[in-house]
Chains A and B, each alone.
Chain A
Amino acid sequence: MSESDVEHVRQHIKVYVTVFVALAVLTVVTVGISYLHLPTGFAITLAMVVATVKAGLVAGYFMHLISEEKVILWVLLLCAAFLFVLFILPLGTQIGNGPLWPL
């Protein structure tokens, strides 16, 4: 491995540490929020936003998605599209069916 490569990796390590700190802080933040007893809908949204940010950090930096080749982004995009369907439609059908347990 060449010198410049090593230098490159050194710089990355700084980023990794920053990301790690951010993840730790965000973990504490979510837990903290949960003690505030916000209204349910708001609490769920907030928790999911924070979780998504954390997941984005892990995927982006630890898994190098930020600088990853296009094929992989395409694969994930396809996956995301189907995931979206998977999430929306059972719920939508729920709504179409009315409440599940009206008995």
Chain B
Amino acid sequence: MSDEHSDLGFLRKYVFSTDHKTIGIQYGITALVFLFFGFSLMMMMRWQLAYPGSAIPIIGGLLPDTLVDRGAMLPDFYNQLGAMHGTIMVFMGIVPLAVGAFGNYVVPLQIGAPDMAFPRLNMMSYQAFVIGGIVMLASFFLPGGAASSGWTSYAPLAVTATTGQTFWLIGMIFLIASSLLGALNFIVTILHIRAEGLTFFRLPFFVWSQLVTAFLLLLAFPPLQAAAIFQLMDRLAGTSFFLPSGLVVGGEQIVAAGGGSPLLWQHLFWFLAHPEVYVLILPGMGIIAEVIANNTRKPLWGYRPMVYSLLVLGFLSFGVWAHHMYMTGMGTTMSTFFQITTMIISIPSVIILTCLVISLWGASIRFSVAMLFALAFLPMFGIGGLTGLPLGLAAPDAHLHDTYYVIGHFHYVVAPGTIFAMFAGIYYWYPKATGRTLNVTLGKVHFWLSFIFMNGVFMPMMFEGMAGVSRRLFDPTIYDHGAAVHGLTVMTSWSAWCLAAAQIPFIINFFWSMRKTERAEENPWQATTLEWATPTPPPHGNFTETPVVYRGPYEYSVPGADRDFSPQYVKQEA
């Protein structure tokens, strides 16, 4: 079985592959490149923020006059970078990496499946993602530049913006289509193609997280699809779904039918975007759970409550979206409802995090690189999640809304949170995919530097936000309270650049380790889950013999067993 694919041509093997592992790797590489690109955009913005109005070193001279003025960034360019940073990081970076790459690569292996339920659909999902990505990137080369109305694309601003916004909408429609195809594939795969004996409560937590994520994508994305279609109509066909009557832009009355509602866009957008933030974090939590179980050499503490929390989290995430809209003037009935749901939804996160922390008790903790990232994830997500609480209450939000406090809040969850989880996953599963382990020393350098500078980037933002500095400001120093905390801004910028430098060991490690001669063992981490039952790297069709599952996912240090791990797929301990 294993050599059947070797006679496929290069195109069939690497470009139009239907093998979930190849697709997973394609997704992974593409997403990492996008992630790096999104970060680069942000590094340019950080220059403007730290040294407003001065020429950007090196890059400034290379950019056209429409974007920079004698090397110094123009406000419109800043807005383009900000909007595209958000969009790229969320929709083209983390989602494809967490779901497309890790989900695709690991889920079928962990459930003992030969492939996804619909391999062809899987390939189409990746292609739609690439097309969407290309459309997004192409928009930078348009006359008016890329979308510049924030990743939230609030109407009416976005409706009256330049052509970049049209590309943004078309790109989004492709990215959404890609996610929908992927999501239904995941659900069917997980429900149908589990190995014999792999009951629901024997599923690794990672698979559970992907299942819930897939449901979120499947049911939350379509409303944004609808909204994107409406906005596209507004821009191209002259309708006015989001334009009220009597708009006057730049002194000119706008020619449109009118009668629309700007708030409608926000409702549809946040109806997606709140579930979306859980899409960003749940797969990360799944990875962290795998790594923690493996490196504590004991079962996860409270596996079942964690699973239930996951389900509750997924379900409730559809009922909190308007906490992003407290300041739009909604009445107290509605804000009360959303404050209550927002407080309720924080409880399942607390339960999951608490279970993970308590899992450390009684363990024998191996500080592998993956584990370091996983351990760092816990307090980092803690900071991010806890800062969500004041935002979830309307009264404090009246001061904090749309300040750097919000930026700090969610970056703590997605950057040292999800990105660390992604790193943990890469260090953990790299040996599975390549047959080589990543270098530990380089890994530790990467971890410690990233850990320090991540905090250096995002902790100051909390204080800036507290001081009242608004986000999306091309030059915050024109406000008195912004000028007062300028020192923090400079510190953030330098940390961001150092953070970029800290990725160099990782990139070197990533490519160099692939060429190492010595191969890793089949099961280098002595793990219990099914993905380690395949040959490394797994052949087309994955398993050489049909796996059968005999026990739960994390049977480490079982009393009486002669090894400290009892794999799911081994019948009896010898």
Contacts and interface: CB of A to CB of B under 8 A. Distances in A.
A78 interface: yes
Contact of B322 (A71, A81, A89): A89
Contacts of A79: 219
A101 B244 contact: yes
Interface in B337-361: 337
A96 to B, nearest CB: 3
A92 B328 CA distance: 14
A38 to B, nearest CB: 25
B223 interface: yes
Contacts of A90: 264, 267
B245 interface: yes
A98 B331 contact: yes
Contacts of B244: 100-101
A11 interface: no
Contacts of A93: 263, 267, 322, 325, 330-331, 334
Contacts of B318: 81-82, 85
A89 B244 CA distance: 21
A90 B321 CA distance: 11
Contacts of B263: 93, 97, 100
B271 interface: yes
Interface of A is mostly: helix
A96 B245 contact: no
Contact of B215 (A78, A85, A96, A97): A78
B329 interface: yes
B191 A71 contact: yes
A31 interface: no
B325 to A, nearest CB: 8
A1 interface: no
A86 interface: yes
B253 interface: no
A95 interface: yes
A95 B219 CA distance: 25
Contact of A85 (B191, B319, B325, B333): B319
B439 interface: no
Interface string B194-227: 0000000000000000000001000110010000
A96 B333 contact: yes
Given A78-B219, A93-B263, A100-B261, A86 B271 contact: yes
Contacts of B331: 93, 95-98
A92 B219 contact: no
A9 B264 CA distance: 47
B332 interface: yes
Contacts of B219: 78-79, 82
12 contacts: A79-B219, A89-B267, A89-B322, A90-B264, A93-B267, A93-B325, A96-B333, A97-B328, A97-B331, A97-B334, A100-B263, A101-B244
Interface of A: 71, 78-79, 81-82, 85-86, 89-90, 92-93, 95-98, 100-101, 103
Given A78-B219, A82-B219, A92-B334, 17 more contacts: A82-B318, A85-B318, A89-B319, A89-B334, A90-B267, A92-B333, A93-B263, A93-B330, A93-B334, A96-B332, A96-B335, A97-B263, A97-B330, A98-B331, A101-B244, A101-B245, A103-B246
Closest 7 CB pairs of A and B: A96-B331, A96-B334, A90-B267, A93-B334, A82-B318, A96-B333, A96-B330
